[in-house]
A and B are shown apart, each in its own frame.
Chain A
Amino acid sequence: GAVVSQHPSWVICKSGTSVKIECRSLDFQATTMFWYRQFPKQSLMLMATSNEGSKATYEQGVEKDKFLINHASLTLSTLTVTSAHPEDSSFYICSARVWTSGAFFGQGTRLTVV
């Protein structure tokens, strides 16, 4: 099946710094990828849709200047959490949609901002 690889799997950073998370499709080309965030005991919440070669589209309430998304190639999308604060601590997951097979997810990145 399709494989999506996400890196890093966990990161601890100081408040005010930026963190970049990478999401790669390993055996297929993904023109569209999705970024989700999950807080403890809550469901995955869609943050934005990453489109190869064009601007990402963000869900309502998600700050595009804080969560920078770049999708420069057909196999790589990156999410940068800028000026991270403790309230940004969460589980961030990317996915690529395979239309009739649902979505395949990266392993997730657990971000802790101290």
Chain B
Amino acid sequence: RKEVEQDPGPFNVPEGATVAFNCTYSNSASQSFFWYRQDCRKEPKLLMSVYSSGNEDGRFTAQLNRASQYISLLIRDSKLSDSATYLCVVNKRGEGSSNTGKLIFGQGTTLQVKP
């Protein structure tokens, strides 16, 4: 089983649509969670951190369910510029649940917003 799993998509949606991405992680000791955005042939860029209480940044809302080891990202009112691959990222825990600083990436979910 992969440490971080995402539905690769692609998700093809019209402008203005609401779209949700899901992610599951296998290590229950993980403490830090993030969503990154990666454009074609570019480096990943941090979109937002994910907190247990849920957090929102404009049109983007992230949720974390520790019991289910599940993370989500909701994008409202999709824009053409939202077209990209969205990466679910979890920190890697070491022995004794030590924080290694390493990040484990999901495969990514590709979003294509069409006019």
Contacts and interface: CB of A to CB of B under 8 A. Distances in A.
A105 interface: yes
Contacts, number: 53
A44 B44 contact: yes
Contacts of A32: 101
Interface in B12-36: 32, 34, 36
B43 A103 contact: no
Q: Size band of the A side of the interface?
A: 20 to 34
A107 B87 CA distance: 16
B103 A105 contact: no
A103 B107 contact: no
17 contacts: A6-B43, A34-B101, A34-B102, A43-B108, A49-B102, A93-B43, A95-B103, A97-B101, A100-B49, A101-B46, A102-B34, A102-B49, A103-B46, A105-B43, A106-B43, A107-B42, A108-B42
Interface residues of B, number: 22
Interface in A79-114: 91, 93, 95, 97, 99-108, 110
B39 to A, nearest CB: 11
A102 B43 contact: no
A91 B43 CA distance: 9
